[in-house]
Structure 1
Amino acid sequence: MANHKSALKRIRRDEAVRLRNRYQHKTTRNAIKKLRSEEDKKAAETLLPSVVSMIDRLAKRNIIHTNKASNLKSKLSQKVAAL
């Protein structure tokens, strides 16, 4: 167990950050699944910018790797364009 006040605070903060990251990551994954299952081109085109924004946010906060974010955005853009 931690001996310093700052270490105890860090433990509390790390847990809060972990839960926030987990929530954002799961929410983004659900949005990606929803976009992939979309059959209507208009609906997919309106959904794409918000999903791309969520992916960029995850990459900016190092929740996912930058290259993974780029690959996801590329694949989703291709899928929407092919509809």
Structure 2
Amino acid sequence: MTILLFGITKDIIGTDTLAISDSTTIGTGKIQTVRELKSHLMKIYPDLRSLSSLAVAVNNSYAKDDKIINNFDEIALIPPVSGG
């Protein structure tokens, strides 16, 4: 699974894309939902927890935490943005 990173998430993780292996698991099962993916990433990259929000897009649409994901989806982490 390839995850596209933007803004501060790119700075925290240190790259603009992140590959997650098909065999990556949480507890006793594979990562299957957006919630599980976020939890996994926050364990590996604890600085992500400091963000006021972290949206996830799956196939170019914002996704809720219960959205099922698979290795063929295009996933993006979208940090909080500011602008004027």
TM over 0.5: no
Which fold has the larger relative contact order, with Cα–Cα distance below 8 Å and residues 6 or more apart in sequence? 2
**Which entry has the higher C-alpha Rg, 1 or 2?**
1
Structure 1 or 2: more helix by fraction: 1
TM-score bucket (shorter structure): under 0.3
TM-score (norm 2): 0.26
